Amino acid sequence: MKAFVLEKYNSPLVKKNIPDPVCSDSDVLVKIKAAGICGTDIKIYTGKLDGIINLPHIPGHEGAGEVVEAGKNVKNIKPGDKGIIYHYISCRDCELCRTGRENICFNIKRTGFELPGAFSEYISIPAYNFCPVSSKNISWFEMAILPDALLTPYHALKTLGKVSKSFKVLIVGVGGLGLHAVMIAKVLGADVACADIRDSSLTKALSCGADVTCNMKNEDMLSIIKEWTKGEGVDVVLEGVGTEATFPNSLKSLKKGGKLVLMGYDPVKPVPLDALGMHYNEWEIIGSRLGTKQELLELINYVSSGEIKPIISKQLDMDQINKVFSESMLDTTVGRIVFNGL
Ligand SMILES: [Zn+2]
Ligand SMILES: [Zn+2]
């Protein structure tokens, strides 16, 4: 099969012919129809996740496709089925898997990270990790970005932030994940404020339903939040940037007893922590990592019914993949870039 292989950090991915993946008895072999690219792929490309990635490597953790072969132990999925790849391959046997937290399984392996990813013609995954989509309302491109760009903010807001009706939520950073977070928070019944440094993203956030926006470059976020919440602060902050430039004010935006869910991160630089503020206000900080397959199935329903609409900013052929890296396209795009399958 054809695949895009990262052989050296900061160097173009090489299109190669490599052996087809083997479909074992409990696996399905999927022909990739669309694959999304996200900021984490840039971290992989530049070597920031060197401790996890083994070169040569096929990246790509957002994918959707059609089953072309099913292993002999697979009962309910058959060739021709269309669906989404839930890329967290958990052991389904450890304490965390058995208590519904497979996304932080002790033995997790992920396609596009520890395992070959979706920037290829085919991928072999356990049948459990294939989520069939029967609705005709979802395109391949939309399907491809559900398992990360939508699942991550869904888990962060609904499960960890416990966002519900009349909550006030601040979303810091409205890129690929943050824009979907706006729609998800609205579907959960919250009022939403957004902060970013790009006017184009904030305008898009308004069209996704945001009630208040703040350009952190030239506006004072804390006073905007103070005024919006009548001095109390927000119930939940979804921190989608996670750097020292944003984190201190994100924490200060919280109401007493509020929760900050940390979705974005800088892999090399930790953020400073206001321990005194946490003590006085009983603020909670919760790390957030992707989501579970059950949550992905819930999301498929929301998208099928049209309540949440995935935002695709660019549809490209996978042959243009190196342009995305060399032209830093992710920095300037609003929404997600998705590739056609090879
Ligand atoms: Zn990602
Ligand atoms: Zn496990």
Q: How far is the CA of 121 from the centre of ligand 2 (A)?
A: 28
Q: How far is the CA of 154 from the centre of ligand 1 (A)?
A: 14
Q: Most distant CA pair in the chain: distance in Å?
A: 61
Residue 314 CB neighbour total at 10 angstroms: 17
Question: Quick one: pLDDT at residue 246?
Answer: 96
Question: Quick one: pLDDT at residue 104?
Answer: 98
Residue 162 CB neighbour total at 10 angstroms: 13
Question: Quick one: pLDDT at residue 333?
Answer: 75
Ligand nearest to the CA of 101: 2
Model pLDDT for residues 256-304, shown as the tens digit of each residue: 999 999 999 887 889 999 999 999 999 999 999 999 999 999 999 999 9
Q: How far is the CA of 207 from the centre of ligand 1 (A)?
A: 23
Residue 96, CB half-sphere, CA atoms under 13 Å: how many?
A: 12
Cα 34 to Cα 84: distance, rounded to the nearest angstrom: 10
**10-residue mean pLDDT series, the chain (342 residues):** 97 97 98 94 93 96 98 97 98 97 98 98 98 94 96 98 97 93 97 96 96 97 98 98 95 98 89 95 97 97 95 94 87 84 94
Q: How far is the CA of 275 from the centre of ligand 1 (A)?
A: 30
To the nearest 10°, the Cα dihedral for 331, 337, 341, 342?
-30
* CB-based contacts of 249-256 (< 8 A; 24+ apart in sequence): 249/216, 249/221, 249/222, 250/170, 250/172, 251/277, 251/278, 251/283, 251/285, 252/222, 252/277, 253/170, 253/221, 253/222, 253/225, 254/281, 254/283, 255/168, 255/229, 256/232, 256/281, 256/282, 256/283
Residues in CB range of 217: below 8 A, 6 or more apart: 197
Q: How far is the CA of 100 from the centre of ligand 2 (A)?
A: 10
- Tell me the chain's radius of gyration from C-alpha atoms: 20
Cα 117 to Cα 91: distance, rounded to the nearest angstrom: 19
Q: How far is the CA of 88 from the centre of ligand 1 (A)?
A: 12
Question: Quick one: pLDDT at residue 234?
Answer: 98
pTM, whole model, 2 decimals? 0.94
Ligand nearest to the CA of 177: 1
Query: DSSP E strands: which ranges in the chain?
Result: 2-5, 14-17, 27-37, 62-70, 82-85, 88-89, 109-110, 122-126, 130-132, 168-172, 191-196, 212-215, 234-239, 254-262, 284-287, 312-317, 336-340
